[in-house]
Amino acid sequence: MHYTHTHLSLNNKSVALSSIQQGSVTSESDFEKASLDFIHRWLNNQQTFILQTSGSTGTPKKIEVTREQLIASASATIKALELKEHDQVLICLSTQYIAGIMMLVRCLVGNLNITAIEPTANPLNLLPPDAEFDFAALVPYQAETMFTEMDLSSFKRIKKIIIGGAPVSLKLTEILSKAESDIYQTYGMTETLSHIALQKISGVDATHAFKALPGVTLKLDARNCLVIQADYLPEAVVANDVVEMIGNNTFRWLGRADNVINSGGIKLYPEKLEKIVEHTFSSLSINNRFFVCGTQDAKLGTAVSLIIESANKVDEIALLQQLRNHLQSHELPKVILYTKTFEMTPTNKINRVATLRKYGMITNLQ
């Protein structure tokens, strides 16, 4: 494959791919080092790569994948999003992990022009105000910051955007639904070589479910968790995500099986409860981060618990009063706990297990 037409800008410096292939480009940051190292290995036709999981859903681990698998995954995204040769692509995610790595692969496979900048809360702040792109990948926090610091019009600078790494909140989904760009929420993991399904969340053609990419087949196991088969995966990947299949290769995500709270014999999905809590927080102008889990309870076995990142208590009476309007009694938090700071993964996701262990909380996630 020839890359003579691919242009690379790294932290606003033009870099020749031929120089990267020869190994003659010096890095000035961890992001530059990871980006240059991967591109160097790719240009020199390396056939196998070691990928590192982030650890947000378990112990971090390394997996080995082949060049052909990465090409097949990249090609599926290029086809689904109708990306074209010479499109301008913004890479503002860590290239040590699958999301950033696959952005590099898509560019190299599709001969797309690369603008790679340090991952920050608002990537557009590091770029000229007239810089525009055909495609970019963001995490929810970046999209939220772009809206807060700039406004919705800033998204017009990027024609197509995929958002992944964590679920997109109800509030952010509502904001982005009015964007002029084509914006998609992604579903996938390191083991599936990035996303295997997309959900459009902007425009009049927005959907309420994920649709699998070409070449991906989905089914459920006995737990109603997703089983993923793809042309480029050597074997089926069994996810820990409970979903509702609503059509051929189309599904709604309900939550993580390992997060499920069994309270008094009733199974509850924290992610579903978190959407209600998020809406209530917004109505009460509570801006703290939070998550829902189960803590040990003598009567129920496990009680629904709300963990809030705050040094001070919120107005719990007002909070519970409003939650009662939207939740059944068995869904209401029986315990509200506070931590000064949440533990985070290297890819900036809340690490629930590490947070709970740090503060000595005994929960269903131990």
Residue 364 confidence (pLDDT)? 60
CB 263 within 8 A of CB 304: yes
Tell me: the pLDDT tens digits for 10-32?
999 999 999 999 999 999 999 99
Check which CATH number belongs to the domain holding 346 and give it. Answer: 3.30.300.30
Q: Where is the domain boundary, 152, 185, 210?
A: 210
Task: With respect to residue 243, please indicate whether it lies within any of the assigned structural domains.
Answer: no
Whether the per-residue pLDDT at 172 is higher than 90: the answer is: yes
pLDDT bin (cut points 50, 70, 90) of residue 183 is: very high
Expressed as residue numbers, the domain containing 281 is: 260-358
Strand partners, 49: 65
Look up residue 107 and give its two tokens: 């560019």
Question: Is residue 232 pLDDT above 80, yes or no?
Answer: yes
Please check whether residue 233 lies inside any domain of the structure. no
Please report the pLDDT score of residue 348 as a whole number.
Answer: 77
Record the pTM: 0.86
Number of other residues whose CB lies within 10 A of the CB of residue 184: 27
62 pairs with which residues across the strands?
A: 52
pLDDT given at position 4:
56
Of 89, 279, 64, give the one whose Cα is nearest residue 170. 279
Contacts (Cβ under 8 Å, ≥6 apart) of 309: 288, 289, 290, 338, 339, 340, 341, 342
Nearest Cα residue to 343 out of 309, 316, 318, 320? 309
Number of domains making up the chain: 2
The predicted pLDDT at position 22 comes to 95
> Is 47 inside a domain boundary?
yes
Judge if 34 and 157 occupy the same domain: yes
Q: Are both 264 and 205 inside the same structural domain?
A: no
Alpha carbons within 13 angstroms on the beta-carbon side of residue 85 total 6
Strands 335-339 and 301-309: parallel
Residue 289 has a CB neighbour count (10 Å cut-off) of 13
Paired tokens of 323: 């939650």
Residues 284-306: what's their mean pLDDT?
A: 91
Asked whether residue 25 falls in the same domain as residue 132, the answer is yes
**pLDDT, the chain, mean:** 92
Q: Are 163 and 138 in contact (CB under 8 A)?
A: yes
The residue among 125, 135, 131, 124 whose CA lies nearest residue 102 is 135
CATH number at residue 105: 3.40.50.12780
- Specify the residue for token string 């099986």: 257
Give 233's DSSP letter. -
Instruction: Judge if 311 and 194 occupy the same domain.
Output: no
